Chain A
Amino acid sequence: MSGAGTTRDPVRHVPRAEYLTTVKELADEGYAMCIDLTAVDYLELPNRRLPDDAEPAQRFEVVVNLLDLRNRRRLRLRVQVPEDDPTLPTLFDVHPGTEAMEREVFDMFGIEFTDHPDLTRILMPEDWVGHPLRKDDEVGRIPVQFKGAHA
């Protein structure tokens, strides 16, 4: 019984069209806090298993961790985001704390959050090209800045 105790969080797969309304409904149900919002690039795992009732797997997946403080429960939402249209409505109106997290996902994965108040890069330099956490943005592809320096 040792080690853990952390309950296995329930997961819900949400269709992209119902994403915003689902989060709003859940906020009314008590999931008052958005703890985390991140994304995964499933480029190398196109045939991964998803439950039958979920939407077909897409390249990107946005993962949202919600927390209900009163009932002490968590819920993880997984939303499929296609490669050819990587957009999702922002959660800023429901959970303003997602502002920085959505900017990070935009910066790292190039997923755009429509109606986000300030969708700019947050961790990478403003003039950076590409989105580093995408699987096709390879490590070491960027030339070393000081390669011309004398040894």
Chain B
Amino acid sequence: MTGVELAPGAWWIVVGIGTLLGLDAISWPQSMASRPIVAGTLGGMLFGDPGGGFLVGAWLEIMASRHPPYGAARYPETGPAALIAGAAFALSESGSIIALMFCVLAGWTIGWVGSHSIALLRRYNDRALGDPASFAGDPTELARRHRRSIRLDGARAALVTGALFLPVVLAVRVAETWGPGGLGAGLTPVLAVLGLAGLGGVGARLLGGRREGWPTFVIGGAVGLLLIWVFP
């Protein structure tokens, strides 16, 4: 995990995978390779730490459960975001909870940048395909415009990945080596896990739960404790 350096071709590989993951979520083929646990693991694997990448992806997965993609709702784009976050964690100096937290927050931020870029693309698609009369039922023209929209989605994902990958890796490295005072060092991990736990609670509720279902959530927590005991 530590001391891994970026090879010159790594950026291109990350951008290539980010493009495919960005396409997967909406345009084609919704195989969920773009889910954070998959994309994060891929990002970690590229730089020798699939387990670390997975961990970042798992945190992002819990956070993303707060924003289910129902209807035309806005939600963070997970593919390129988790890919970059997983890679940044694998490239971090310490692999500590601080690096994990920064990678997760970076992933979350990239997810919303991606979401805004998707909204822009959809507005462009409004002009291209929002009025069926504009292509008068011509099947060739419809196919041409539809495929162009898919290509643009790929270009959008490539742009998001390419523009944010290196800055995020550098930012995480700088942030984790920032020397906090004693209070910051002690408080940050506690606040971070409290935030995660809260997001887990929200995610569980938004997966269709009712307030009265809290015992199910608690039972799950007890099962988690049991698993920790069985698999220390």
Say if A and B assemble together. no
Could you tell me which A residues sit within 8 Å of B by CB distance? none
